[in-house]
């Protein structure tokens, strides 16, 4: 990718730490996410990956510095896809209503915004949900809900995409949709910060991968870093044998 | 290129905003209360009147309340009831029970006036507990007059004569001081 068409920011973590309720979740995180790259964060459950990306969103009381270097004159659009949607299945809103709640200024009970109605149809089509736009959210499967969450991240067109295990509930068709979206993000020069458990997908789609278990255990190209030994150490209870990230 | 430092979330800013919001609400409340403060309307009593809530002894308050109730019963009767009839009915304050004794053991007498009104005079056995009470029923409405000590009313006990003789008309008024 040429540097000219990059719209996403570079992200720099400098000595970032996080303590919640007296427990250290993260400490000494020094990382750099290149502008326009797909940067995956992998590691065991409870390792602090989700906390780290929520710190990027300004939702955590972190220590240290997280800096976004945007290529333009103003900060761009940040899209976030959460790990799962805490959702009352009895809530009487449709897929389109859900997008309206998240994406438009006009109150959702007044219906979809005229300016965005076509965009809703378009993004739902991109995630293969065009025929379900009037279905109740409570009637969707877990994979379909995940697709809707991906769809909402496309309005407005993002420059930085923060993904928290977006593939967890996706079926094969959903995974294919996700791969196409990732290719689109890369094509548009977005920066993607991506927490993922599916290491095969990380190796396939990410430009760089960091192993996080309360601290950075490795950081590099997926082809080199995702070796069997590395992963055994990453997911071990006692990762002391790991060399710290350079 | 623009550099953006992600600010940590935390209690500092939230506390500040909550404090500011509380301050604004408090200031608005102070301003509203100050601007909208109204002097409670006080009904000034005439010189010959006494307020039932502040001017009576506890025994007199009890007697006054009983007399107002009794006045309704007496006014509804076809003829003027005698004190003995009222006592026989068990109607306070004419019946001689424990309350009667505690409120000064009044000796009640009744008579009809020249203009169809009815009078009931209660003279206390113990003037320290309550004064002399006079219930005047006219037009179905009872008015109670009070004078300390054991006294007799004027020969023609209309309002002017009673006031001139130092009796006080017992009245009640509802104002900001009434809380229930």
Show which of A156, A183, A215 is a domain's final residue: A156
CB distance B8–A58 less than 8 Å? Answer: yes
ipTM over the 0.90 cut-off: no
Please tell me if residue A52 touches chain B, with a CB cutoff of 8 Å.
Answer: no
Closest-CA residue of A relative to B11 is A61
Q: Do A61 and B1 touch (CB under 8 A)?
A: no
What is the pLDDT confidence band of residue A11, given thresholds at 50, 70 and 90? very high
Q: Give yes or no for A6 touching B (CB within 8 A).
A: no
Distance, CA of B103 to CA of B59 (rounded, Å): 5
In a domain, A96, yes or no: yes
Residues A27 and A69 in one domain: yes
| Rg from Cα positions in chain B | 29
In a domain? residue A31: yes
Lowest mean pLDDT among A22-26, A79-83, B83-87: B83-87
Q: Chain A: give the shortest CA distance to residue B9, in Å.
A: 5
pLDDT classification of A57: cutoffs 50, 70, 90: very high
Longest Cα–Cα distance of chain A, Å, equals 58
B2, A56: Cβ pair inside 8 Å? no
**CA of B13 to nearest chain A CA: how many angstroms apart?**
11
pLDDT at A197 exceeding the cut of 60: yes
Interchain CB contact of B5 with A (< 8 Å): yes
Instruction: Specify whether A163 is located in the same domain as A47.
Output: yes
Closest CA to A18 of A50, A45, A43: A50
pLDDT of residue A246: 43
Give yes or no: residues A49 and A168 share one domain. Answer: yes
Least confident of A119-128, A158-167, B101-110: B101-110
CB spacing of B4 vs A63 below 8 angstroms:
no
Residues A34 and A151 grouped into a single domain = no
Residues of B with Cβ-Cβ distance to A62 under 8 angstroms: 6, 8
Q: What is the pLDDT of residue A2?
A: 45
Same domain, A64 and A184: yes
pLDDT at A69: 96
In a domain, A62, yes or no: yes
Q: Which two tokens stand for residue A126?
A: 């991109």
* H runs (alpha helix) in B2-82: 11-36, 58-76
pLDDT at A1 over 50: no
CB contact under 8 A, A63 and B8: yes
What does the pLDDT read at residue A190?
A: 96
The verdict on A134 and A212 lying in the same domain is no
Give the pLDDT score at A238: 65
Q: What angle do CA B155, B159, B162 make, to 5 degrees?
A: 50
Assigned domain for A83 exists = no
Which of B1, B8, B14, B15 would best serve as a mutation to test chain A binding (most A beta carbons within 10 A)?
Answer: B8
What's the CA gap between B136 and B118, in Å, rounded?
A: 6
pLDDT of the residue at A239: 56
In this complex, do A71 and B1 lie within 8 Å of one another by their Cβ atoms? Answer: yes
Confidence of residue A3 (pLDDT cuts 50, 70, 90): very low
- B15 interfaces chain A, CB cutoff of 8 Å: no
Pairwise CA distance, residues A204 & A210, whole Å = 15
Average pLDDT, chain B: 85
**End position of a domain, from candidates A114, A140, A156:** A156
Out of A58, A70, A72, name the one closest to residue B9 (CB).
A58
Give the per-residue pLDDT at A219. Answer: 94
The average pLDDT across B131-149 equals: 88
| B115 interface with A at CB cutoff 8 Å | no
Percent of chain B with pLDDT over 90: 19
Name the burial class of residue B34, with classes exposed (0-12), middle (13-18) and buried (19+) by CB atoms within 10 angstroms of its CB: exposed
Contacts of A70 in chain B (CB under 8 A): 1-4
Within a domain: A82: no
Q: Is B4 on the interface with A (CB under 8 A)?
A: yes
Residue A76 CA to residue B111 CA, distance in Å, equals 98
Tell whether A140 and A19 lie within a shared domain.
Answer: no
- Asked whether the predicted pLDDT for residue A140 surpasses 80, the reply is yes
What is the residue-averaged pLDDT of chain A?
90
- Residue B2 has its nearest CB partner, among A55, A65, A74, at A74
pLDDT level of residue B179 (50, 70, 90 thresholds): low
Contact A58 B2 (CB under 8 A): no
Residue A174 covered by a domain = yes
Do A186 and A150 share a structural domain? no
Same domain? A31 vs A122: no
Model confidence at B73: pLDDT above 90: no
Three-state SS for A106-153 is: CCHHHCCCHHHHHHHHHHHHHCCCHHHCCCEHHHCCHHHHHHHHHHHC
Q: Are B94 and B70 in contact (CB under 8 A)?
A: yes
Provide the domain count of chain A.
2
CATH code for position A29: 3.40.50.300
In a domain? residue A84: no
Is the pLDDT confidence value at A4 over 90?
A: no
Give me the pLDDT at residue A245, please: 47
Q: Please, which residues bridge with residue B141 across strands?
A: B138
A19 in contact with B, Cβ within 8 Å: no
User: Which residues in chain A are contacts of B4 at CB distance < 8 A?
Assistant: 9, 67-70, 75
CA A97 to chain CA centroid, nearest Å: 23
Q: Answer whether A111 touches B (CB < 8 Å).
A: no
Co-location of A73 and A163 in the same domain = yes
> Is the pLDDT assigned to residue A26 strictly greater than 90?
yes
Residue closest to A69 by CA, chosen among B3, B129, B34: B3
> Taking 80 as the threshold, does the pLDDT of residue B135 lie above it?
yes
Same domain assignment for residues A219 and A102:
no
Find where tokens 């761009």 sit. Answer: A76
Angle at A176 between CA A175 and CA A181, to 5 degrees: 95
pLDDT band for position B9 (50/70/90)?
confident
Residues A167 and A66 in one domain: yes
Tell me the average pLDDT across B98-110: 88
Q: CB–CB of A55 and B7 under 8 A?
A: no
State whether residue A9 sits within 8 Å of chain B by CB: yes
Residue A137 lies in a domain: yes
**Domain membership of residue A112 as a residue range:** 89-156
- Tell me whether the omega of the peptide bond preceding residue B152 falls within 30 degrees of 0, making it cis: no
Q: What is the pLDDT of residues B17-64, one digit of tens each?
A: 999 999 999 999 999 999 998 776 667 788 888 888 888 889 999 999
């Amino acid at each position: 990718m040429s540097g000219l068409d990059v719209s996403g920011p570079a992200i720099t973590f400098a000595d970032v730490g996080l303590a919640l309720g007296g427990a250290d979740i993260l400490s000494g995180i020094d990382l750099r996410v290149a502008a326009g790259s797909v940067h995956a964060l992998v590691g065991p459950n409870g390792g602090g990956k989700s906390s780290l990306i929520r710190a990027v969103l300004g939702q955590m009381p972190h220590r240290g510095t997280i800096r976004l270097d945007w290529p333009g004159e103003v900060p761009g659009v940040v899209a976030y896809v959460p790990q799962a949607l805490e959702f009352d299945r009895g809530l009487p809103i449709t897929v389109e209503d859900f997008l309206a709640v998240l994406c438009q200024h006009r109150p959702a009970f007044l219906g979809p915004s005229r300016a965005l109605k076509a965009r809703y149809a378009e993004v739902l089509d991109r995630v293969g949900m065009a025929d379900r736009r009037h279905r109740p959210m409570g009637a969707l499967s877990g994979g379909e809900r995940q697709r809707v969450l991906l769809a909402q991240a496309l309005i407005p067109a993002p420059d930085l995409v923060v993904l928290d295990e977006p593939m967890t509930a996706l079926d094969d068709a959903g995974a294919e949709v996700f791969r196409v979206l990732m290719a689109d993000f890369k094509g548009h020069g977005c920066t993607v910060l991506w927490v993922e458990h599916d290491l095969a997908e990380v190796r396939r789609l990410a430009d760089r991968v960091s192993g996080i278990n309360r601290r950075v255990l490795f950081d590099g190209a997926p082809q080199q870093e995702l070796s069997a030994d590395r992963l055994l150490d990453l997911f071990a209870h006692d990762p002391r044998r790991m060399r710290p990230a350079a | 290129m623009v550099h953006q430092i992600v600010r940590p979330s935390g209690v500092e800013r939230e506390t500040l905003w909550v404090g500011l919001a509380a301050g604004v609400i408090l200031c608005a409340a102070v301003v509203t209360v100050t601007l909208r403060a109204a002097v409670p309307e006080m009904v000034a009593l005439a010189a010959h009147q006494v307020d039932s809530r502040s001017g009576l002894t506890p025994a007199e308050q009890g007697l006054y309340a009983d007399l107002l109730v009794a006045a309704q019963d007496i006014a509804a009767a076809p003829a003027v009831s005698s004190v003995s009839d009222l006592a026989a009915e068990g109607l306070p304050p004419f019946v001689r029970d424990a309350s009667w004794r505690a409120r000064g053991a009044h000796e009640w007498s009744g008579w009809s006036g020249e203009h169809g009104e009815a009078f009931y005079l209660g003279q206390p056995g113990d003037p320290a507990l309550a004064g002399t009470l006079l219930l005047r029923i006219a037009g179905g409405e009872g008015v109670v007059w009070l004078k300390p000590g054991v006294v007799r009313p004027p020969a023609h006990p209309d309002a002017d004569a009673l006031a001139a003789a130092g009796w006080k008309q017992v009245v009640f008024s509802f104002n900001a001081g009434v809380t229930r």
